[in-house]
Structure 1
Amino acid sequence: MAASTSAPIPEAITVHGASRVLEVRFSDGAHFRIPFELMRVYSPSAEVQGHGPGQAVLQTGKRHVDIVALEPVGNYAVQPTFSDGHDSGIFTWEYLYFLGSRQDELWADYERRLAQAGLDRDAPMPAPGGHGCAHH
């Protein structure tokens, strides 16, 4: 298989609204069901990841987030619109593969960060405005 990129590409992407998972089947045979919450918490957007190392904004209260739209971006990514209004994350095929293949690790990391912050998954997000960096 001489593809121009080494990364597998999705052959099928299905949004499962009731179970809140994005099902992705890749060309290498890998098959993932990625929870919307995981996608939302690990959105690659600057709003979530921050603008530098250690600037990521811990996302909470996303257990019941839905994907209300999924737009293709070129032939390399999708851009979901989440029910909380977040729509600035561009999920490349590689990033979806990463999320799918490392879910357990990512959940554990998320739970560790929540515990460090003294929060739980269902804590409401702080109101927008300010970066919330001044609480130390």
Structure 2
Amino acid sequence: MTSAPHPHPTELTVHGASRVLEIAFDDGARFRIPFELMRVYSPSAEVQGHGPGQAVLQTGKRHVEIVALEPVGHYAVQPTFSDGHDSGIYTWEYLYFLGSRQAELWVDYERRLAEAGVDRDAPMPDPAAAGCGRH
């Protein structure tokens, strides 16, 4: 994070048609974060894993939507995505990170897809077949 050690949002708008979360912060920063980026980088244990190297590469999320967005105290929001994923709690700091580092995060995501030999739009493997949790 750059200039805001503890950024606080002043505006938060879900744009369903363009599938972006627009968020403005008290330091003047304003970001338009694609739902796909939010879903691919969900802070949930389902996506990030429970330790280093355990992250689960997300695919097939290009058209994901946010169907609900609930506040979590005064420090975060918890979206429900159209694919059923609802366990990520996005703190203001994490949303600031996603917004301010979008370009780098997209490059990293594309690199991880290439290394795994999978397409961005490939469906996720069946979690039951993989023996792990949902989404």
TM-score strictly above 0.5: yes
Distance 2:74 2:33 in 1: 20
Of structures 1 and 2, the larger Rg is shown by 1
Runs of 5+ consecutive residues of structure 1 not aligned to the other structure: none
Q: Supply the AA of the counterpart residue of 2:72.
A: V
Q: Supply the AA of the counterpart residue of 2:100.
A: S
TM score, norm. by length of structure 2:
0.92
Runs of 5+ consecutive residues of structure 2 not aligned to the other structure: none
More relative contact order, 1 or 2 (CA 8 Å, 6+ apart): 2
Cα-Cα RMSD: 1.5
Report the counterpart of residue 31 of structure 2 in structure 1: 32
- CA separation of 1:76 and 1:130: change in aligned 2, threshold 3 A: farther
Equivalent pairs, count: 129
**Match runs of 1:105-124 below 5 Å:** 105-124=104-123
Distance 1:12 1:53 in 2: 33
**Percent same amino acid at aligned positions?**
83
Q: Deviations over 1:2-42 (max 9, x none)?
A: xxx93110001000000000000000000000000000000
Report the counterpart of residue 81 of structure 1 in structure 2: 80
TM score, norm. by length of structure 1:
0.91
Other structure's SS at 1:129 match: helix
Other structure's SS at 1:97 match: helix
Report the counterpart of residue 97 of structure 2 in structure 1: 98
Distance 1:112 1:132 in 2: 26
